[in-house]
Amino acid sequence: MKLFTKLITAGCLFLAAGCQEPEAAEDMLYVRYFSAGKADAILLYTDESAVLIDTGLDGYASQILRELNRLGIDSLDAMILTHFDKDHIGSADEVLENISVGHVWVSDSPKDSDEYEDLMEALEQTGIHAEMVFGDERETFELDGITYTIDGPDEEEYEDNPSNNSSLIVSVQYGETSFLFMGDAQNDRIREYLEDDASSYDVLKVPYHGNYQKQLKNLIASVQPEIAVITCSSFEGGEEKTMNLLEENGVETFRTDKGSVLIASDGKNITADYN
């Protein structure tokens, strides 16, 4: 069993509550889950790389860009947009227009919305070709010793909740520590993912903002996370039934309606707290 502590203060992975972490220390992976309401915006960074998973609602870009500037990050190696709902791509256009992005990966279920059109226009203006991940394909890349794997949806279209069920699912491995980001995957997508990947992960980004669904029991049983993060607001997401399920399985759970969550890994140990 890996050692999990909520906070380390001597030789710390990040600073004590009330202080902000400095620019990324060498050989450390930081994962910031922004407090963005019922929306996903997640930054993974080291002293040599930065990846953004989703961008929150329209208007949230200023928060993301402010954090990147504070950390001294002047470019993103990759942007992964799990699906095209407004609470995941709303600020993607503004981020693309204000910072250099190396690669963009997207799902295969386009959406008729202003946010989708704004994203397509920003990609065209910046000359970035977004790579689509779907079917049996898995896109894997490595940055600064961290392995990212993007799993695309198997079905061309889902009968139930087609946008959410087309979510890209991202797994991250750093040393002995691992993270799983489930986007807004709902029952069909969770079921098909578990058929292909029965791995356990140390940290789980709970799918669909912690709204309860039947496949969550199977997901928790398979992943066996030590830590879970729910991206929710005080009045949307984070259902009591989901919270109870996580508690019953001994999972330490953080909710972004209580503040941004910062997780740090040195490749062996993980710390997590609000920051």
According to the model, what pLDDT value does residue 3 have? 33
Q: Is 249 exposed, middle or buried (0-12, 13-18, 19+ CB in 10 A)?
A: middle
Question: In terms of residues, how long is the chain?
Answer: 275
Can you tell me the mean pLDDT for 128-132? 97
Q: In terms of pLDDT, which residue wins out, 5 or 193?
A: 193
Alpha-carbon Rg for the chain, nearest whole angstrom, is: 17
Can you tell me the mean pLDDT for 40-61? 98
Neighbours of 75 (CB within 10 A): 11
- With a cut of 50, say whether residue 18 has pLDDT above it: no
Reference 80, options 140, 155, 20; nearest CA is 140
Q: In terms of pLDDT, which residue wins out, 19 or 166?
A: 166
Give the C-alpha separation, 64 to 4, whole Å. Answer: 28
- With a cut of 70, say whether residue 56 has pLDDT above it: yes
Instruction: Give CA separation, 183 vs 4, 13, 208, 222, in Å.
Output: 24, 27, 7, 17
Q: Write out the DSSP string of 59-120.
A: T-HHHHHHHHHHTT--EEEEEEE----HHHHTTHHHHHHHSEEEEEEE-S----SHHHHHHH
According to the model, what pLDDT value does residue 198 have? 83
Can you tell me the mean pLDDT for 229-236? 97
Can you tell me the mean pLDDT for 8-15? 36
Task: For residue 114, give every residue at least 6 positions away whose Cβ sits within 8 Å of its Cβ, in sequence order, or none.
Answer: none
